[in-house]
Structure 1
Amino acid sequence: MRTPLLLLPLLALASCDQAKDLVSKAKQIKPQTAASAVSPGAADVRDITEGQFDEIIKTPGKLVIVDYHADWCGPCKMLSPVLKEVAGEYSGRTLVAKINVDHAKSLAQKEGVGGIPDVRFYRDGKRVDQFVGYIDAGQVREKFAKHAPASAPAGGADSPEGTPTPAEPAIQPMKKDWMPPGMEKKGT
């Protein structure tokens, strides 16, 4: 591991024992990424059965991600927390439906699942994307960003009493005679 540049001045001034202690502490600190700095919302992740499949993929206004997996599959176990994390970043706009291929063999065969993990993206019942095998979080985020709706569906779980909250414009037009506080307009 490389020593962070911020520690170099400290290492130059500190004794050898102090420098070793600082470096060991720096190695123990996990760097905070932009994704971990933001606390994502709760991800909607459900284990579903064959009978629920057709209804779930037709969920209106949401991106439905179907994850075909198995308990014994290593790449599936690596991908599962990535899907949950990214789905949490799209809280209210996505639903992750997990299907264990060992328990839903006929559905997996009907859908043409040849390898796992097999992840498919659906909007209003239509498949819009798919990948097979493990991909990193950045690639998963790209797929979510490409297909997730821009906002949560009206009446979703995120809005109180099922009513959508209107978005306020980020930039308001400035009034013609506006002056900064403490300033007066001089007479002409």
Structure 2
Amino acid sequence: MGALLVLLVAYLFGSIPAGVLVARTYGVDIRKVGSGNIGATNVLRTLGWGPALVVAFFDVFKGGIAVLVARALGLEGWLLGGVAVAAVLGHNYSLFLGFKGGKGVATSFGALLFLDPILALWTFPIGVSVTLLTRYVSAGSMTGGVAALVLSLALGRPLWEVATVFLMAALIFFTHWENLKRLREGTERRFGERVEVR
């Protein structure tokens, strides 16, 4: 029962829509501008670096704090992995936004950072490098998901952790399905492009 409560709290914490809340302070509904996504990338295109960094920090933090609290309560193994995934699901399908949300990349990274710091710090530069080389955040995000899974296998991580990373990577690909289509069509927005706020 205690484990289920922790999973629920992780989901609820992940559900807090930082992008929507930060953009609202600027009089903007982030869901109605740019890509309509609530994550830091759309906030960057719409409102600039300051608000985007606040959103990115909070989205990373809510994935990490879920794992940190679960560990403090003695959860390990499959349950700990479940907490990480629950936080990401909360971000992607927020209770406060009618079960809609973001793409879960920052929250996945935050969960992985506290779950396995070494794996996260090996994965991060790979994703960032692809983003900078291609100027597509979506490409960097999906590459990072694949890299995390491959590295978890290469480093001999336990099955529960590999399964957790697989689920988080799968969620990243699922939420980026439209981005994949736009990448194939050559219509995907590039990193650094601004959108007009009306």
TM-score scaled by structure 2?
Answer: 0.27
Higher radius of gyration, 1 or 2: 1
More strand by share: 1
